[in-house]
Amino acid sequence: MEADLKVQNGIPLGEIPTPEGIAKILQLPLNRFYTNGFLLGNTNTDVFIITQINGVPTTILNMSFETAKLLNEGLIKTITGIETQTGQEVKYLNIPVKK
């Protein structure tokens, strides 16, 4: 029974998924969100991302500071990999943050 608790939908829990595992996750009936903009902020205990579509808020995602830092590192690694594979820099509009 204990082995059954460590695997859900054929995906080992608590492990970094393999490409095959990620492909399985993408087939699951999970909520999906698209965003083309976002706002970032934090409270005393967590970080939040307010996703937007064309400037309209659509979703609020809260996470721990540790998770936010891991997300940041993962996004940088992913985009760097895309740029390396394509030989093109991913361009973005850098909007200054008001202080």
For residue 23, the number of C-alpha atoms closer than 13 Å in the C-beta half-sphere is 3
Does 1 have pLDDT greater than 60? no
- Least confident range from 5-14, 33-42, 61-70: namely 5-14
Three-state DSSP class for 15?
coil
26/15 Cα distance (integer angstroms): 16
Coil/strand/helix, residue 16: coil
| Mean pLDDT of the region 46-64 | 96
Query: What residue segments make up the domains of the chain, in order of their start?
Result: 1-30
CB 55 within 8 A of CB 36: no
Q: Pick the more confident residue, 69 or 4.
A: 69
The pTM assigned to this predicted structure is 0.73
